[in-house]
Amino acid sequence: MSKAKVSWQPSSKLEIRYTSNIGGDLEALPYLATVIKQQRVQYPEMLLFDTGSFSGPGCPGPHSGEPHVKVYNHLQYTAVVPGRAEAMDTKALKKMARIADFPFLATNWRGIGEGDYFTNRQVIERGEEKIVILGMACPETPKDTETVPAIQSLDEALKGFDPADTVVIILSQLDGNQNLALAKHGNFTKIIIGGVTITGLDQTMSVGNSLIAPASDGPKSLGSLTVNLGGNLKVNKEEESAE
């Protein structure tokens, strides 16, 4: 499990855990469930995400992803972003979203499914800080859905929020250049968590007052970030790891 620490001063801790590229692997779920439950005992208020393509490669089919969503409900996932596997079959995506206790975030999608099987943001408050969670979903969209440019969708989703008391978490299915552009854009502090494996990005990197974290390493890996809320962003350069 890769770990990175980000801090604001003064601080109150926020723990983030995330999975990526499960790829429909049902055999991985018991292992992940055990690790996540252990983390949940230690950090009851941690945020737990999936950064896409958990339901399987290609067209998922009518029941694909359903077992994963039920397990994710049990593990109290906070949100997921649709990857290519989820975007390929509108019926399956609708079914997964409707049985989920968490939102499917697709900030960069527009279409008839908005507010039904995907939404553009989730807002959580921790003390005086607002945490706005966005999803930059797979650019290949479901039927009757289109993408809008990432920067445009970011600006629209953050309208009315103050950078001084808002931290933005972006679950991203975009490529490295687009993630970098998102990190550099505007005055908000952003934590961008990748869902696509990008060559050369295997560690967290700081960009101005933002952070880009790589996708976790497949079905038996849990990504980990420790964030301190309040004040100005600092990124500890050390990397921690745990099996």
Mean pLDDT score, 71-76: 95
Distance CA 36, CA 17 (A): 8
With a pLDDT cut of 70, the percent of the chain lying above it is 85
State residue 63's pLDDT score.
Answer: 54
Q: What is the pLDDT of residues 183-204, one digit of tens each?
A: 999 999 999 999 987 766 778 8
Q: Is the pTM of this model over 0.85?
A: yes
Res 219: pLDDT = 82
* pLDDT reading at 224 higher than 50: yes
Reported as a single tens digit per residue, the pLDDT across 129-157 is: 899 999 999 999 988 899 999 999 999 99
Lowest mean pLDDT, pick from 1-5, 13-17, 66-70: 1-5
Would you state the pLDDT for residue 220? 82
Instruction: Please give the residue range of the domain that contains residue 140.
Output: 2-241
Give mean pLDDT, residues 93-106. Answer: 94
- pLDDT confidence of residue 57: 57
- 166-172: strand order across its sheet: 122-126, 129-136, 166-172, 189-194, 210-213, 205-207
Q: Cα(119)–Cα(6) distance, rounded to whole angstroms?
A: 27
The overall average pLDDT reported for the chain is 85
pLDDT at 121 over 90: yes
Alpha-carbon distance of 85 to 93, in angstroms, equals 9
What CATH number has the domain bearing residue 200? 3.60.21.10
- What the block records as the tokens of 45 is 């208020």
| Helix segments in 54-175, DSSP class H | 66-74, 84-87, 90-99, 150-157
What's the total number of domains in the chain?
1
